[in-house]
Amino acid sequence: MKLIVSAALLVIMSVGLLISCSNKAEEPSLEPLQMSEISGNAIWDRITVESRYKNYTEWPKDSGLQPGQSPHGVWHRVFANRTLLEALPAADSTAPEGSLIVKENFGSSKTLGSITVMAKVKGYDPENGDWYWAMFDPEGKVLKEGSPGGCISCHAGMRSNDFVIINPLDMAP
C-alpha cells in the first residue's frame, strides 16, 4: 500500500514538474489588457505573473545587452510579446492591440536600474498611438504610468512608426 502511494506521489510530482517547466518556456496567449483595467500594477502583473516577459522574444535584431541612449540605461535589453512580433512586418507601421514592449535598462556597471514598458491599449490615447507607458524599479514599484509627457514627446519623433524607436514596424523585426 505504502509503495502504491509513493509511486502515485512520484507520478503526480513528475507531471507537476513537467507542467511547470513547459509553462516557463511558453508565452501564453492572453486577452489584451483593456482600458477599464489598465494601470502600472496591471502591467507589472501581466509581465511577471500572467506571463513572464523574460520568456518573450528579445527584439531579434537587437537581442542581448545593447548600448542604449539617454535617458534610458547605458545598456538595454528589449523584449516584445508574441502579439506584436507575430504582426510584423505591419504594412501600416502600427502595432496591434495587446502589444507589449518591455525594456530593461542597465547602468554602466550592468546592474538593472529600471524597466520601461509600452502597452497598446485600445482607445486609451488615440492621439498618441493608444500606448500606455510605464516605468518600474527592478522590484516592480511603479515610478511612472499613463501618459507621461516625457515618454511621449521623445518617442513622438517616431510617430510615423507608432512611437516605436527600435525598429521600423513595416520591416521584419
Task: Please report whether residue 138 would count as binding ligand HEC according to CB under 6 A.
Answer: no
Position among 116, 124, 130, 169 found at the interface with ligand HEC (CB under 6 A)? 116
Task: Please report whether residue 151 would count as binding ligand HEC according to CB under 6 A.
Answer: yes
Task: Please report whether residue 166 would count as binding ligand HEC according to CB under 6 A.
Answer: yes
User: Which grid cell is 33?
Assistant: 489588457
Task: Please report whether residue 42 would count as binding ligand HEC according to CB under 6 A.
Answer: no
Task: Please report whether residue 23 would count as binding ligand HEC according to CB under 6 A.
Answer: no
Task: Please report whether residue 169 would count as binding ligand HEC according to CB under 6 A.
Answer: no
Sequence-distant (6+) residues with CB within 8 A of 105 are 68, 72, 73, 75, 76, 112, 113, 114, 115, 116
Task: Please report whether residue 148 would count as binding ligand HEC according to CB under 6 A.
Answer: yes
| Residue 148, preceding peptide bond in cis (omega within 30° of 0) | no
DSSP letters spanning 49-75: IIS-GGGSEE-GGG-SSEE--TTS-SE
Task: Please report whether residue 68 would count as binding ligand HEC according to CB under 6 A.
Answer: yes
User: Which grid cell is 8?
Assistant: 502515485
Of 47 and 151, nearer to ligand HEC (C-beta) is 151
Name the segment binding ligand HEC (CB under 6 A); options: 18-26, 41-49, 87-95, 151-159.
Answer: 151-159
Burial class of 15 by CB neighbour count within 10 A (0 to 12, 13 to 18, 19+): exposed
Other CB atoms within 10 Å distance of the CB of residue 96? 15
Taking the complex as a whole, the smallest distance from the CB of residue 104 to ligand HEC amounts, in Å, to: 10
Of 30 and 166, nearer to ligand HEC (C-beta) is 166
Query: Of 102, 103, 153, which Cα lies nearest the Cα of 127?
Result: 153
Chain contacts with ligand HEC (rule: CB under 6 A): 68-69, 71-72, 76, 78, 101, 103, 116-118, 133-135, 144, 148, 150-151, 154-155, 164-166
